[in-house]
Amino acid sequence: MAFAPRGPEASFFQVLDQHRASLLAALRKGGREPAGGGTHLATRFEDSVGLHMVSHCTTRKIKSDSPKSVKTFALILKILSMIYKLVQSNTYATKRDIYYTDSQLFGNQTVVDNIINDISCMLKVPRRSLHILSTSKGLIAGNLRYIEEDGTKVNCACATAVAVPSNIQGIQNLITDAKFLLIVEKDATFQRLLDDSFCTKMSPCIMVTGKGVPDLNTRLLVKKLWDTFHIPIFTLVDADPHGIEIMCIYKYGSMAMSFEAHNLTVPAIRWLGLLPSDIKRLNIPKVTLIPLTKQDQMKLDSILKRPYITCQPFWRKEMEIMADSKMKAEIQALTFLSSDYLSRVYLPNKLKFGGWI
């Protein structure tokens, strides 16, 4: 075995092990979810991939002799020349590095980000193949060791979390005994679980947070861990439309990055909590609940109309509970039951008895 300490007895993970066996069986059959399909604009949904761009999508032309697009054309050429130099010298730069080479010319970071995405999409290659890296904001902790591209050995089984590497493609020799990976929406919840020694009590496991909407590297890391180990992956998000949106990004991807869906999405991800149905089941005090705003309701309606929800009836049911109640809840609402209810009762029971959807 690669790690110590040990957590619960082996029998604790019986349902988890059965879930993993079903995931592996699905992979052998082609890696598909139970059912689904559909189309949306230039993006198609496939249950085994998530949202990805169709080959016949609408394109736009940027001409050098057009007053409207001549500046964009020039900026694309400038960034292409920088990419060429990076590839030729086998060096890497962040999007921020590129922006600061001529911040007055680019104007703002968003211009650089959009052009890099356009180049990646146009050439049909992942951004890292352009030798452009994103700055990581995510954290990882638990039963995992690996070696970074420069030879640095990283052990995530420490008391403090480790920053997600900026070059996921370069990490190698990944080792883990983890029974599951838990994606935590918010950094505050992630840190609280660390303080409660959740990774030790539920050992062996891995925890990851993207600190809200995940950056590219956090998504790449989750995908790499799935592709390497095929362990169950669960999400812990607020019972609100924003939390559900973040979970959908990990599982099915986003419109903006649909051209790279095969490298980013993990359709095997399951929703562990906080479920809207948990609010009533656990008798969470009404004083801790928050009314849905108009923006929340619009977001919820938008998610319910997405093609992948047709193959997630249990997700739909949970979202309908939220819509009917017109209330949302943060994970922190569980502290009203007891200060360590999340790590001591809620998550262990969910994991032991299969409380995911």
Give the C-alpha separation, 225 to 230, whole Å.
7
**Helix or strand holding residue 314 (H, E):** helix 313-325
Token pair listed for 201? 């009590």
Please indicate whether residue 346 is annotated as part of the active site. no
Give the C-alpha separation, 302 to 328, whole Å.
16
**Of 100, 146, 341, 346, which one is the catalytic site residue?**
100
Burial class (CB in 10 A: 0-12, 13-18, 19+), 316: middle
Residue 203 Cα distances to 14, 199, 274, 348, angstroms: 14, 5, 21, 11
Question: Is the CB of residue 256 less than 8 Å from the CB of residue 50?
Answer: no
Question: Is the CB of residue 156 less than 8 Å from the CB of residue 187?
Answer: no
Active site residues: 100
